Amino acid sequence: MNPAIYPKMAVIGCGLIGSSVIRAARAAGAVDKVQVFDLNPQSRAEIERLGYADAVFDDAAAAAKDADLVVLATPPLSLAAAAAAAAPGFKAGVTLTDVGSVKGGVGAALASVAGEDAFVIPGHPLAGTENSGPAAGFSTLFQNRWTILCPLEGREDAPYQEALTRLERFWAAIGANVEVMDERHHDLVLAVTSHLPHLIAYNIVGTAADLEAVTQSEVIKFSASGFRDFTRIAASDPTMWRDVFLMNKEAVLEILGRFTEDLQALSRAIRWGEGDKLHELFTRTREIRRGVIAAGQESAEPNFGRDRQP
Amino acid sequence: MNPAIYPKMAVIGCGLIGSSVIRAARAAGAVDKVQVFDLNPQSRAEIERLGYADAVFDDAAAAAKDADLVVLATPPLSLAAAAAAAAPGFKAGVTLTDVGSVKGGVGAALASVAGEDAFVIPGHPLAGTENSGPAAGFSTLFQNRWTILCPLEGREDAPYQEALTRLERFWAAIGANVEVMDERHHDLVLAVTSHLPHLIAYNIVGTAADLEAVTQSEVIKFSASGFRDFTRIAASDPTMWRDVFLMNKEAVLEILGRFTEDLQALSRAIRWGEGDKLHELFTRTREIRRGVIAAGQESAEPNFGRDRQP
């Protein structure tokens, strides 16, 4: 096996993503030693029990000490505080990254606490499930998924570029495809592909739960006719998603505005019986599905393959 | 094997649902002979090739002739015309049902053309995939799914009730759970659990396709972060869904109005940074997901089980 890309990795915050990074990195031999900090004593006990780490700490700086790579995997709004708490442990030349779903301002915030000798390279693996916590992690979570890195603006210097290449190698080693993008564009792309879908899913599930004429048990019983697809992403981690919407407010409201306009036009077409308009949209959207499947981002099986087929 | 529930079945319109009814009914021994009509010559050729039917007709009345059960499986807006075309073939005592997603007015429309000797019992199997056409059908489509029957109001007479019981046995034989409901309530329940989810999915996929700042290939590439779940149902049959929204206008607009109100409240909470409100909703929606899984209507596997797990 090749030598580890980062001999020592520290993971600060160890839920679904943090624990999956650890399991994937160990499976790939991309790290030798793993040190973990988590704020939650129960999670720390679970991480010990699951044997993810060589050492588990209740102090972020102690976990970060001497690490070659520090991965911040806390909820997005806690990143800056987590970085500040870990910073006293940073060695010169450490690479500091994160896995948060919003990137605007993250580079600047981390750079302001990390010190000049750290290479700050914010990142975002586009992977996850609707489950949370350290026990939800698994080593193949990033396979065939994208990880977007958002390097600091103006850092064209060779040491920074080398650090970037090394971090790209790390993500590739654990199965991800890597894309480099500026943070503003990242937040707009994710507002469309992830944040709006989650917001809509949370909203429709909430609307259904509040009806008087249809009971909650009817909604659940008859959910297979479409509704259940939305419940999956509406079961995602509430704290993380609260942070996402608060941090990516501008892009989310912009995309939400367009969505609402389109929905009003659709509502009007239904009210006035404009069948051709409906048919035209419903035909156009099939193409996108074909693109998603052709790009290998989805199973081509009906119903995601969740039903057994003959 | 028990004797067939209906010795001869006619299926009028043979797409995903019609062909699945045939395959399921044959597999269960619920019918002996199958006669099929489809308006589309290509579909007729495909049905012949797939060997679904004992005879394929280009005339609905000929297909319906002497059948004990006639299943109308056309797009919803074509039901009345299909029934009228098939009616000359009906024998006395035939059971006439359909599989349409909207039930309001269907019973009256079918009864007006079926004649007094027919038992009209509208129905709706809550099953389907995003694929269309005769080749998309499969025999297990209805297993562990609900079929809702909406008997005609005021038909408490014994022969009608016997016909209803027989049709319930038929659906149970091909794997479905059967529920009886009045057509108005059916349309409201389905507006929530199926029609609104489809409308929202079509809409969000349309919004994403129209953006200028984010390319369609970026949307596709990064779709795994939430968007792809919506593309599945936005790939459903355009003609059927156009008909659903035109026929169930009142209930869909009512539920859509509530959804939009809720979405505006959510939008306002994001704009004003009301994290507690967001967190509260995002926590509440997890419960519904648990209910859906507990009711056996969904896989408990993360990502619907579509990703391989260690």
* Strand (E) or helix (H) holding B303: none
Residue A232 pLDDT: 86
Residue ranges of B 177-206 with Cβ closer than 8 A to chain A: 188-190, 192-206
Disruptive mutation site among B282, B299, B301 for chain A (greatest number of A CBs within 10 Å): B282
B75 CB neighbours in chain A (<8 A) are: none
- Asked whether the beta carbons of residue A253 and residue B242 sit closer than 8 angstroms, the reply is no
Residue of chain A whose Cα is closest to the Cα of B193:
A227
- What DSSP string describes B151-189? PPTT--SHHHHHHHHHHHHHHHHTT-EEEE--HHHHHHH
Q: Is B37 exposed, middle or buried (0-12, 13-18, 19+ CB in 10 A)?
A: buried
**Per-residue buried b or exposed e for A118-146, using 16+ beta carbons within 10 Å of the residue's own CB:** bbbbbbbbbbbbbbbebebbbbbbbeebb
**How does pLDDT run across A148-183, given as a tens digit for each residue?**
999 999 999 999 999 999 999 999 999 999 999 999
Q: Which residue did the predictor score with more confidence, B86 or A226?
A: B86
Give the pTM.
0.89
Which residues on chain A are in Cβ contact (under 8 Å) with B17? none
**B220 contacts on A by Cβ (under 8 Å):** 288, 291-292, 295, 297
Q: Where are the alpha helices (DSSP H) in B174-274?
A: 183-190, 196-209, 216-221, 227-233, 238-247, 249-271
- Strand-pairing partners, residue A2, are none
* Contact between residue B173 and residue B205 where contact means Cβ atoms under 8 Å apart: no
217-246 of B, contacting A, C-beta below 8 A: 217-236, 238-239, 241-243, 245-246
What is the rounded CA–CA span in Å between residue B203 and residue B192?
A: 16
- The per-residue pLDDT for A307 is 54
| Chain B residue with minimum CA distance to A226 | B194
Q: To which H or E segment does residue A49 belong? A: helix A41-50
Among the partner residues B205, B222, B301, nearest to A126 by beta-carbon distance: B222
Eight-class DSSP state of A135: G
Q: What confidence score (pLDDT) does residue A308 get?
A: 43
- Cα distance between residue B192 and residue B162, in whole Å: 32
Q: What average pLDDT does the structure give for chain A?
A: 93
- Across chain B, mean pLDDT equals 93
Interchain CB distance below 8 Å, B205 and A285: yes
Burial of A305 (0-12, 13-18, 19+ CB in 10 A): middle
For residue B165, the model assigns a pLDDT of: 98
Q: What are the tens digits of pLDDT across the range B169-228? A: 999 999 999 999 999 999 999 999 999 999 999 999 999 999 988 988 899 999 888 898
Residue A228 above 70 pLDDT?
Answer: yes
Nearest beta carbon to residue A246 from set B209, B275, B281: B275
- Cα B62 to the center of its chain, rounded Å: 26
Q: Identify all chain B residues contacting A211, using CB atoms and an 8 Å cutoff.
A: 192, 255, 258
Q: Are strands B146-149 and A119-120 parallel, antiparallel or unpaired?
A: unpaired
CB A238 to CB B279 under 8 A? yes
* Yes or no, beta carbons of B270 and A249 under 8 Å apart: yes
Q: How far apart are alpha carbons A230 and A216 in whole angstroms?
A: 15
pLDDT at A301: 77
Is A79 in contact with A13 (CB distance < 8 Å)? no
pLDDT at B308: 42
Cβ within 8 Å of A, B 138-167: 138-141, 145-146, 148
Percent of chain B clearing pLDDT 70 (strictly above): 97
A302/B129 CB distance under 8 A: yes
* A293 Cβ neighbours under 8 A, 6+ residues apart: A299, A300
Q: What per-residue confidence (pLDDT) applies to A306?
A: 60
Contacting B residues, span 269-308, partner chain A, CB-CB under 8 Å: 270-271, 273, 275, 278-279, 281-286, 288-292, 295, 297-299, 301-308
Which residue would you say has higher pLDDT here, B253 or B115? B253
Nearest to B235 among A262, A281, A286 (CB): A286
Determine which of A197-201, A226-230, B73-77, B240-244 has the lowest per-residue pLDDT on average.
Answer: A226-230
Interface of A with B in 24-83 (CB under 8 A): none
**Which among B292, B306, B308 is the top mutation candidate for probing chain A, defined by the most A β-carbons within 10 Å of its own β-carbon?**
B292
Confidence of residue A290 (pLDDT cuts 50, 70, 90): confident
Candidates A120, A141, A100; CA nearest to A241 is A100
So what's the pLDDT on residue B54? 97
CA distance A104 to A108: 9
Length in residues, chain A: 310
Asked whether the beta carbons of residue A221 and residue B196 sit closer than 8 angstroms, the reply is no
Predicted local confidence at residue A224, as pLDDT: 81
- Given a cut of 70, is residue A185 above it in pLDDT? yes
A 124-143 residues with CB < 8 A to B: 126-131, 136, 138-141
pLDDT given for residue A79 in this prediction: 96
Q: Output the CA torsion A8→A9→A14→A16 (10° steps).
A: -120
Residue B93: DSSP 8-state: T
Predicted confidence at residue A230, as pLDDT, reads 87
Model confidence at B88: pLDDT above 50: yes
Does A267 reach chain B within 8 Å, measured CB to CB? yes
Q: CA neighbours within 13 Å on the CB side: how many for A198?
A: 29
| Closest Cβ opposite residue A289 in set B23, B195, B235 | B235
At B288 the pLDDT is 86
How far apart are the C-alpha atoms of B106 and B81, rounded to whole Å? Answer: 12
Q: How confident is the model at residue B298 (pLDDT cuts 50, 70, 90)?
A: confident
- The beta-carbon neighbor of A204 closest among B197, B217, B228 is B197
* pLDDT score of B302 more than 90: no
- What are the pLDDT digits (tens) for B12-54? 999 999 999 999 999 999 999 999 999 999 999 999 999 999 9
CB contacts < 8 A, A to B, total 377
Is the pLDDT at A294 greater than 50? The verdict is yes
What is the structure's pLDDT at A310? 35
**Tens digit of each residue's pLDDT (9 = 90 or more) over A125-151:** 998 888 889 999 999 999 989 999 999
Q: What are B141-173's pLDDT values in tens digits?
A: 999 999 999 999 999 999 999 999 999 999 999
CA pair distance B201, B211, nearest whole angstrom? 16
Contact B208 A192 (CB under 8 A): yes
Q: How confident is residue A296, by pLDDT bands cut at 50, 70 and 90? A: confident
Inter-chain contact B194–A226, Cβ cutoff 8 Å?
yes
Q: Which two tokens stand for residue B27?
A: 């597999």
Q: What is the pLDDT of residue A305?
A: 65
Residue B6 pLDDT > 90, yes or no?
yes
SS3 A40: coil
Query: How would you class A160 by CB atoms within 10 Å of its CB: exposed for 0-12, middle for 13-18, buried for 19 or more?
Result: middle
Would you call A304 and B306 a contact, using CB atoms and an 8 Å cutoff?
Answer: yes
What is the DSSP code (8-state) at residue A20? Answer: H
